[in-house]
Structure 1
Amino acid sequence: MSPQEREPAEGVVRLCAIRDQALSVDEALSAIADPACGGQVLFVGRVRDHDHARAVTALAYQAHPQATERMAAVCAEIAQEYDVRAVAALHRVGDLRIGDIAVVTAVAAAHRGAAFEAGQALIDRLKASTPIWKNQHFADGASEWVGLP
């Protein structure tokens, strides 16, 4: 199916939000549920306890006021460019602890190949172009911003 023949992005993008509350994997999976889809790809990004051989104790995410609009645009691009029937993306802001979910993306397609391809493109583009920045706090008391323009 060509991009011109696909459903409009607004029918395919089922969930797109930035939240200051805990994210739900189940919510993302429910959003992309579709009986025509045999392939679902889910990505869950969690706060890890290290970065570049330094112990991380916590993270704080901040979003630009237009971050939700940019995130929605990325979801719409994926919906138009890939043979998918459903797209979902959630990102957390605020203070997070080790193990907390920072981002959830999900796509559904008729076949696994398209789902895998779209799923990777979705998380890669969101990370590259959505203005959300993290402040990593290290065990030694230092901190650093990551992803600033």
Structure 2
Amino acid sequence: MAYSTERLLYIFFKTDGNCHICHGVLTFHNYGLPYARGGWEVEHSVPRARGGTDRLNNLLPAHVSCNRRKRDGSTWQARALHGKTRAPYSREKKAQIRGNNTVHGLTAGAVAGGLVAGPAGVLVGAVVGGIFGHSVRVPK
């Protein structure tokens, strides 16, 4: 099936440009090029052979080799071969997680600082906690 550039962009960025099976890096311009570095194609999470559709929620980017190796098997089994349990997060989801980590760090730091050093410790603890929370690594 031929996909429009807009649809390909949407599918590509659902996983922030990573293969949803092995989490490796993809190259947008290498769409459909099996031997190019980062070559990828649209993969049906539920294969059409098993009743899958061409709806966007069923389409994910995958290396050509990962997709071909999966064949009509399950996405769960294909990811398990690489030690993965889910698709990579989108850029928006990563930003949301980072924001939540920052808020939780601010809160924990303020509480800890207040318990240790009183009112002045609240401010210092919140700043340190916010920095720490924001710097926590967000998974792919």
For the aligned pair, the TM-score class normalised by the smaller chain equals under 0.3
Which is strand-richer, 1 or 2? 1
TM-score, reference length from structure 2: 0.24
TM-score, reference length from structure 1: 0.23
Query: Rg: which structure is higher?
Result: 2
- Larger relative contact order (C-alpha < 8 A, sep ≥ 6)? 1
